[in-house]
A and B are shown apart, each in its own frame.
Chain A
């Protein structure tokens, strides 16, 4: 059947009854084919009764969320579950190191061919530790990604637990780093005049250590103003704040364990001070141990799963 063209009626014109009838009568005797349906016109009402998109019978734990969780900085890769060359991770899982909040969702009673979409979203907050105070300094980076725990349940995923079957899902892995950092109080910090512009809450100088250290200025070499020998400093300006959102399709394979858990694991490290650690140095040499190893924070975390059925 062709498209129905409704006559155009003008204001203040007398309506011809034939035109009026042309507008309505075709609807009383219709024979529709595909041409009469607009694109994407078949919606949920046309889904047959035996189709389900939200079957939850296999999903023992559907969602995991938390507000914030600290992740401590590491100095080696011992607890890094996301190394690009490994297909598994047999090391231990720790809440504040590589498995934030021991998060996971859990699927049970799985059969080959069943499919699930797992999504995760969070923000990653990394403090500026002043790693670029020295030229050779390198700020840390944050790795995060989905990990599969075949055959494990909530009782298995405890602090310090491990399994050689733990499998990083590399297609979901992301790395975050701000290439720049501020400079901790050192020979490079701001002058008295600039410092005076700031109220105590925002200045980068720590009077808690010594009220005399309200500013430093070494423009005049060793005869310059006092310096702050503190080695730790927080509240610097180049903190990183990153969104992480990913999704993964799990298709249960033949011979796979009928119980599967998934969670997000991470690792925080890779930093370099660029100078040897020496907390006693200062003044024109600057402090040689610039960073307090402040943890990264995973914020507003949500992990969830749903089954895909046909």
Chain B
């Protein structure tokens, strides 16, 4: 039936409307709009005829979104779907700076165990790759999380600064720079190109008091670019995972941490995370 007319009772001139009355009215509207509409409220008869069914079209149905392989096999299922889609635009670029959430490796290099020991608070959610899912009902449900992003490092500096024209000449010989400087700077660039600069992982917080839980199978890494010398280090990162959500709100976020040898490492610059996709398919039944 429609909203309760006793709660949404008409008022007359001079009536005083209390704050509680306003709250009750909006509560009733929310209850009606969010799940309170019955078939008797629809402009149809006691049973749906074929003609009456046309009042609903496909646009009313939760849009099925699926990541699939690059062929025509796409199967849609009706589910609760949360998605983010960021198109190519510098305004949508997400930049990781080293000033927050970084992890210093020192000269010992990348340590998986050190990384795993970090608190979830050390990992920063990537803009556009987080969502809160409110699970209805009383049962745990499975959610299928898919994400992809295009990430690359700014490059850093070799701290010697030889210019290209100094390194090479048309004759094929060195272009004037001191040979050891050329070798030394090349060595630095190539060394930095072989180091990871950022790490990514999915966290799921069921808000049960245990905090965000790391989903290990979504762990991905990004290499540095060695003063922009190695464009092939620009990387497409993707993952798919199945997680369990509990009734009530659940927070899901794909997070990043910036890795440096030490705080003042100039061989590392920023991490750019450009095009992102983030899908969470919640299967209720």
Contact = CB atoms under 8 A, between A and B. Distances in A.
Interface of A: 1, 15, 17, 20-21, 24-25, 27-34, 37, 39-45, 47, 51-54, 63, 65, 67, 115, 117, 119-123, 128, 171-172, 178-180, 182, 190-191, 193-195, 197-199, 201-202, 219, 235-239, 241-249, 299-302, 304, 306, 308-309
Nearest to B70: A171
B194 A34 contact: no
Interface string B24-57: 0100110010010100011100000000001111
Interface of B: 2-5, 8, 10-13, 15, 17, 25, 28-29, 32, 35, 37, 41-43, 54-57, 59-63, 66-71, 73-75, 77-80, 107-109, 136, 141-142, 144, 146, 148, 179-180, 183-184, 186-188, 190-191, 193-194, 196, 216-223, 226, 230, 232, 235-242, 282-285
Contact of A45 (B35, B68, B146, B222): B35
B75 A243 contact: no
B180 A123 contact: no
A198 B54 CA distance: 73
A201 B109 contact: yes
Residue from B77, B191, B230, B238 whose CB has the most chain A CB atoms within 10 Å: B77
Contacts of A304: 242
Given A20-B11, A201-B107, A201-B109, A123 B220 contact: yes
Contacts of B54: 34
Contacts of B55: 33-34
Nearest to A44: B284
Give the dominant DSSP class at B's interface.
Answer: mixed
A219 B174 CA distance: 13
B41 A237 contact: no
Contact of B239 (A25, A121, A219): A121
B148 A245 contact: yes
B136 A47 contact: no
